[in-house]
Amino acid sequence: FMPPTAEMRYTLAKVSAEHQHYELACDLLRQLHKEYPHYAELPEAYLLLAKLLHEKFNNSREALETMEYLALRFQKHPRYALIDKFWRALGGKPKEDFVL
């Protein structure tokens, strides 16, 4: 079962995470960007996904990929500083870090 809207998926994922149903929360949020690329809450949804992947499943690789998606596509988002900080904490490296 997959809820029919992005809003329902994100809301259900938040409630699932609050009730410690972390796998369900992650399943609801994965691939959200492909099905709802213009969903206004996508950055917040993916922040939650990355946090769950990293903290509850010790899956830093997928968390880093999720945060990299956000860091590269949402640079004008009001919470970009948080996105960038978490991405770097997971090992993300912007291109400008490689300039000699």
Q: Mind listing the pLDDT tens digit of every residue in the chain (100 residues)?
A: 899 999 999 999 999 999 999 999 999 999 999 999 999 999 999 999 999 999 999 999 999 999 999 999 999 999 999 999 999 999 998 866 655 5
Residue 57's Cα: distance from chain center in Å?
14
Q: Which pTM was predicted?
A: 0.91
Residue 19 lies in a domain: yes
CB 27, CB 59: distance < 8 Å: no
Q: Characterize 4-43 residue by residue with b for buried, 16 or more Cβ atoms within 10 angstroms of its Cβ, and e for exposed.
A: eebeebbebbbebbeeeebeebbebbbebbeebeebebbb
The domain total for the chain is 1
Residue 97 lies in a domain: no
Residue 100 lies in a domain: no
